[in-house]
A and B are shown apart, each in its own frame.
Chain A
Amino acid sequence: MEPAAHQVPGADSAGETGDAGERGGMRGIAALSLPARIFVSIAVAVVTVGVAFHVAMVFLQTAPDNTVSKRHAEVVDSYVYPEFERNWKLFAPNPLQQNVAVHARARIAAPGGSTKTTGWVDLSAMDGAAINGNPAPSHTQQNELRRAWEFYADNHDEKGKSYGLRGRLSEQYIKRIVMLRFGTELNGGSVERIQVRAVVTPVAPPEWGDEKTDSKTEYSVQPWWQVTSADLPGGAK
C-alpha cells in the first residue's frame, strides 16, 4: 500500500530491486560516499529553506495586512513582484455590485469647416453584445475596456486629474481603445477630440429579498481630449 507504488524512484538501487518503500531511498542515500552524502544533506537543507521562504512570501502577500507583512513589506514586495503576484480574490470580499459602462463621444471636423459633436456611444454595450451567447468570449471583449477603465479610475482622482506615470499611461490607453473603435473618420468628418464618461449602475437588489437600495445611475464625465497621432492604431511605437 505504499504511495510510492506509482512513483518513479530515481535512485538506481531502489529502481533495480523494486525496494520502493521506506528503505529504498534511504539505501540510495546510505550507499553514497561521505562527500556525496554531505552534498545531498546541504541540498535538502537548501530546498527546505527555499520552499519555506517562498511559501512564507506568497502567504504574506495574499494574507490581509498584518503585523508581519507590514514589518517586512519591502522584502515581500521585492520578492513577489512582478512575477509571483496574485492579483485576484475570486469575488472577495464582495462581488462587484454595479455595472460600469464606458461611453465615448467625439467632436468632428466636418468638411465644410464646421465642427459637430456626436452622441454618446456605449462601448461597453458593444462588448456585451459580443459576449452575449458566446461560450468563449475574447479578452478583447471581456477584459480590455473593463480593466482599462479600472486602471484609469485607480490612477485618477474624482476630477480626472492623473496620478503620475500610471495615470498618464492609463489615459493614453483609454484614448487608444476609443480611437480603435471609432476610427479616424466618423459621421463623415475626422475625429479631432474625444470625451469619455463612466456610467455606473448599481445592480438592483434581488426581487426575492427585502432590501431596498438606491439604484441611481451615476455619471463620471472626463474632460475632452485632443486626439494626436499617438492615439491612433499604428501610432506611438
Chain B
Amino acid sequence: MTEDVTGEGRYAASGADVPSSVSGTEPGASPGSGSRADPGSGSRRGPGTRFQGPRVRVERCVSRGLGKVTGYALGPYQTAIVRIGFGAAWLFFLLREWPHRHELYGPDGPWSFGLGKQLIDSNHAFTVLMWASSGSWFELVYLVAMAAAAAMLLGWHTRAATVLFMVGVLSLQNRSVFMGDGGDNVIHLMSLYLILTRCSQVWSLDARRAHRSRSRAETRTEAARTDASAGAHGRGGNAPPHAGGNSAPPHAGGNSAPASAGRSTASGVGDPVAGTGGVVLWAVLGAILVGGTIAGAMTTGWTLFFWALWVANAAWWCVNKAVAVRGGSGLRELRTVCDILANLAHNGVLLIIMVEVCLIYSTAGWYKIQGSRWQDGTAVYYPMNLDYFTPWPELSHLLAGNGLMVFLVTYGTVITQVAFPFTLFNRRVKNVLLAMMIMEHVGIAVLLGLPFFSMAMIAADAVFLPTVFLVWLGRRVTVLRTRVRGRLPGGDVRRQPVAPPSPRTAGSEDPAVPASAPVGWPGDRTG
C-alpha cells in the first residue's frame, strides 16, 4: 500500500496548506462523518474491490472504523473551537460578573453559605466553595476559575486546565444554583466532557510547544544523521528523516500526539522547560488532591474520579519519559496502548458531545411542537414582551409588531430544531441549518440580553462546523494577527516563524504531516 502512503501524505500536506483546494469535500466536515467512504480511496482500490461480497465490505468498514477511533483523536479543529468557545464564554462571564461576584457566589450573598450548605447536603453537588466559609477562600476559587478558563482558552497545559476549569464551573454554579440559566447549564455539561478530550491538538500553546520541540529535535536529528542506523530503524525503512520527532512533552496531556513514539533518534526528552512546568503543575494538583482526600472533602465518587485523572496523567508522563530515556519495543508498545486509550476516550466523549447538542435541539423542538403558541405561530412574540428579556424594548417591539415576521421565526425555529439531527446525514443541509442556528443565537444574544447563553450555545454548535471552514477561519485570524503585529511599533518580525499554531502551522501539528513536511512548512515561514 505504498501508493496509499504517498497519497495520504500529499493530501495531508495540501490540505493543511491550501484548504481551498479541497473545498466542497470538507474532509472531516463533521467528526461523525469519519466512517463515510471517501471517493479517493475508491479510486485507489484495485479493480477486485468491486467484486467483494457484502461481508468483506462490512469487515472493511468495521476495521476502518476501529482503526480511526483507536488511531486518531478525531475532529481536532472542532474540539479546539469548542474548547476555545467555552473557555471564552466562561471567562467573559466571570469578568463581567466581577463586581457582582460576592452577591452571586460569595459566603455573604443572598444565597448565603448556610443556605447553600443545606441544599448541597441534600443533593450532593460538587463544589469546593463549601470547604470553607471564609471570604478569602471564595476569592481564591473565583480567581482560579478565571485563570483556568484563560488557560483552557489558550490551550496552556490543557489537560490540567480542563480539570481546573470544570472544578471552577461546578464550584461556582453548584454553590448558587438558582443564579444560573440555560447558558450556565450548557457550560456545566461541557466542562465535564472536555476533560476527556484531546482538545488542544491545534490552536493551542500546547500544540505550539510540541511543534517547537519537534522542530528542535529535527535539527538535532539532522546533526546526528551520521548515526545512520537510527534513521533506518523506521518501519519499512522508508520513513522520512524529519519524521523522527522526539516524544511530545507528556504533560501536554497527550494532546499533542507523538509523531513518532520514542524512536531512539529523539535522543532526549521534550522541551525541558515545559516539562518542568507541567511536572510542577501536576505535583501541586496532586498535593491538593492528597489534602482533599485526607480531609474527606469530596464524595467517594469524586475522589476516585480525580485520582483516576491524576494517575492516568502521571502514568502517561512516566511512559513517555521511559520511552525517551530507555526506548525498547515493550515500552513503545505500552505507549501506543496508552495513546489508543486516550484516543478512545476522546472519540467516545466527542460522540457524546455531538449527541448532547442534538438532544438539546431535538428535545426542545419536540416539546415546542406540543406548545400551542408554537403551533399558532405567535410564540416568538411573547419573550419580546417580557420585562426581564427586553434590553432594547423598541427593537423587540419592532419585531413583535410584525405578525408575518413572528410567524416565520416561530416556525423556522421549530423546523430547524426538529430537523437538525437528521441533517447530519447531508453536509450541505447541515451547514445551512447550522448557520441559521448560529444566527438565531446571535439574535437572542442581542434581543433577549443573553450574550453568555448565546456564546455557550454557539460554542456547542461549533462541534458541527466543517473543517474547511475552521481552517479558513484560523488562517484569517492569523493573517489579521500578523497584520496587527506588523503595525505595532514593537512588532517583532523574527517571531513570526514560530507564531502560535495558526491554521497553516496547525497542519504541522498533525503527525501525518511530517511525512510531507517540506510541503507543509512554507506556510509556517510565511504565516
| A residues lining the B interface (CB < 8 Å) | 1-29, 31-33, 36, 39-40, 43-44, 47-48, 50-51, 54-55, 58-59, 62-64, 81-97, 99, 101, 124-125, 127-128, 131-140, 142-144, 146-148, 151, 165-166, 169, 172-173, 176-177, 180, 203-209, 211, 230, 233-237
Contacts and interface: CB of A to CB of B under 8 A. Distances in A.
Given A20-B12, A27-B67, A99-B385, 12 more contacts: A2-B11, A4-B68, A5-B28, A7-B512, A8-B509, A11-B340, A43-B344, A90-B182, A131-B449, A139-B179, A144-B110, A148-B178
29 contacts: A1-B22, A2-B38, A3-B29, A3-B467, A4-B8, A6-B12, A8-B73, A8-B511, A8-B512, A11-B336, A12-B332, A17-B5, A23-B1, A29-B66, A29-B71, A55-B351, A92-B370, A94-B374, A132-B393, A135-B451, A136-B452, A138-B100, A143-B179, A143-B181, A144-B179, A148-B110, A169-B119, A173-B115, A208-B401
Contacts of B337: 32, 36, 39-40
Contact of B257 (A10, A26, A92, A233): A10
A3 B511 CA distance: 15
B112 A5 contact: no
A89 B367 contact: yes
A172 B373 contact: no
Contacts of A140: 97, 100, 103-104, 179
A10 B96 contact: no
B505 interface: no
B403 A208 contact: yes
A81 B133 CA distance: 25
Interface string B368-394: 101111100011111101111111110
Which interface residue of A4, A54, A147, A148 has the most chain B CB atoms within 10 A? A4
Contacts of B215: none
A8 B126 contact: no
A176 B69 CA distance: 52
Nearest to B74: A7
B200 to A, nearest CB: 11
A227 B441 CA distance: 43
B100 A2 contact: no
A127 B332 contact: no
A5 B446 contact: no
A230 to B, nearest CB: 8
B167 to A, nearest CB: 12
Question: Lowest 9 CB-CB distances: which A-B pairs, in order?
Answer: A25-B67, A25-B71, A18-B515, A12-B261, A93-B371, A92-B367, A3-B28, A15-B511, A208-B403
B36 interface: yes
B109 to A, nearest CB: 8
Given A139-B180, A151-B178, A177 B66 contact: no
A84 B100 contact: no
Contact of A25 (B31, B70, B345, B364): B70
A55 B193 CA distance: 12
Contacts of A132: 390-391, 393
A95 B373 contact: yes
A93 B374 contact: yes
Given A58-B359, A92-B364, A92-B368, A237 B511 contact: no
Given A25-B70, A40-B340, A83 B125 contact: yes
Nearest to B373: A94
B360 interface: yes
A22 B352 contact: no
Interface in B8-25: 8-9, 11-12, 15-16, 22, 25
A66 to B, nearest CB: 12
A5 B15 contact: yes
B189 interface: yes
Contacts of A1: 11, 22, 25, 27, 38-41
B355 A29 contact: no
A237 B124 contact: no
A234 B66 contact: no
A119 B11 CA distance: 75
B243 A16 contact: yes
Nearest to B25: A1
Contact of A99 (B73, B96, B386, B402): B386
A45 B515 CA distance: 32
B117 to A, nearest CB: 9
A237 B112 contact: yes
B512 A14 contact: yes
Nearest to B468: A6
A206 B400 contact: yes
B139 to A, nearest CB: 16
Interface string B254-278: 1011111110000000000000000
Contacts of B181: 88, 139, 142-143, 147
Interface in B105-119: 107-115, 118-119
Given A4-B68, A47-B348, A206-B403, A12 B336 contact: yes
Contacts of A39: 337
Contacts of A23: 1, 4, 67
Contact of A18 (B261, B351, B516): B516
B97 A44 contact: no
B103 A180 contact: yes
A182 to B, nearest CB: 12
Contacts of B262: 12
A147 B103 CA distance: 15
Given A82-B124, A177-B110, A22 B63 contact: yes
A93 B371 CA distance: 4
Contact of A17 (B73, B76, B235, B334): B235
B218 interface: no
B206 interface: no
A90 B257 contact: no
B71 A28 contact: yes
B111 A36 contact: no
Nearest to B515: A18
Contacts of B180: 139, 143, 147
B401 A137 contact: no
Given A40-B340, A43-B341, A8 B178 contact: no
B133 A3 contact: no
Contacts of B188: 83
A179 to B, nearest CB: 8
Nearest to B343: A10
Contacts of A209: 378, 403
Contacts of A5: 8, 11-12, 15-16, 27-28, 512
